[in-house]
């Protein structure tokens, strides 16, 4: 069964460093998403991406964040200069369609980012 | 603003029914979802319900929606140890891509 994969499973970085979190969405999907979950808090929407541009973003997704689909398979989230409060589990998701009522988003297992 | 609330923990005995509750604030919520997360895995869609429905049944799962109170519940019949996981309620308004999630309810099934 196709699935969304994410690498690495755990990333440790120093404050101020840049990190890139990688995701491989399901191959025929067209819509891509990033969410994050700070420990003990809710899963929060960050951004959605379609046709090589951001469709929607939350207020969390500020200038420190960027997304890219550098080739036909990967979808990346870059945090330019990490802060302690960026420590969280980051989930990538993809969906085939956005306009249909169902719009199941398929989630990856997450990357745990720890900023020291 | 939009908010989704869930209780954090639920413990039940194997064979009993589990009821996981969720409340939401956004009256424009059109689609409501239940996701399951097992350790080390991503969020897996269990079931969903449209806001024009009151109930949906899918094998052991029953979803009840009270639109007036903005209350959603997931009932798992004959709960098994394999049902132990975190269950997330999520809502999505028409015209938006983003899901608004609750904190998740950790279900522990005791043998």
Model confidence pLDDT, tens digit, residues A21-79: 999 999 889 899 999 999 888 899 999 999 899 999 999 999 999 999 988 789 999 99
State chain B's mean pLDDT as an integer. 91
Per-residue pLDDT, B30: 79
**H-helix or E-strand containing A115?**
strand A111-115
Per-residue pLDDT, B51: 84
Tell whether A104 is within 8 A of chain B (Cβ): yes
Split at pLDDT 50, 70, 90, the class of A100 is low
Structure tokens that stand for B14 in this block: 């194997």
Instruction: Mark which residues 48-87 of B lie under 8 Å from A by CB.
Output: 48, 50
The rounded distance, in Å, linking the Cα atoms of A12 and A87 is 9
CB pair distance less than 8 Å for B88 and A43: yes
Alpha helix (H) residue ranges in chain A:
none
Q: What is the pLDDT of residues B16-61, one digit of tens each?
A: 999 999 999 877 777 899 999 988 778 888 999 988 889 999 999 9
pLDDT at B1 over 80: no
Per-residue pLDDT, A62: 94
Q: Between residues A42 and B83, which one has the greater pLDDT?
A: B83
SS3 B80: coil
CB pair distance less than 8 Å for B97 and A33: yes
Using CB atoms, pick whichever of A41, A45, A101 lies closest to residue B98. Answer: A45
């Amino acid at each position: 069964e196709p699935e969304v994969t994410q690498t690495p499973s755990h990333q440790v970085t120093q404050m101020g460093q840049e990190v890139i979190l990688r995701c491989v969405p399901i191959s025929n999907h067209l819509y891509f998403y990033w969410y994050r979950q700070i420990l003990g808090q809710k899963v929060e929407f960050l951004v959605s991406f379609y046709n090589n541009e951001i469709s929607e973003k939350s207020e969390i997704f500020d200038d420190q964040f960027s997304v890219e689909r550098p080739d036909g398979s990967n979808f990346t989230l870059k945090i330019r200069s990490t802060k302690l409060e960026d420590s969280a589990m980051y989930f990538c998701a993809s969906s085939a369609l956005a306009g249909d009522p169902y719009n199941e988003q398929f989630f990856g297992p997450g990357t745990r980012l720890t900023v020291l | 603003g939009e908010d989704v609330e869930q209780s954090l923990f639920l413990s039940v005995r194997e064979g009993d029914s589990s009821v996981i509750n969720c409340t939401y604030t956004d009256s424009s919520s059109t689609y409501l979802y239940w996701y399951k997360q097992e350790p080390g895995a991503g969020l897996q869609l269990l079931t969903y319900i449209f806001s024009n429905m009151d109930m949906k049944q899918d094998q052991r799962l029953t979803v009840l929606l009270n639109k007036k109170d903005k209350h959603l519940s997931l009932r798992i019949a004959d709960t098994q140890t394999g049902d132990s996981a975190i269950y997330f309620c999520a809502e999505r308004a028409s015209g938006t891509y983003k899901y608004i999630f609750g904190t998740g309810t950790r279900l522990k099934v005791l043998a």
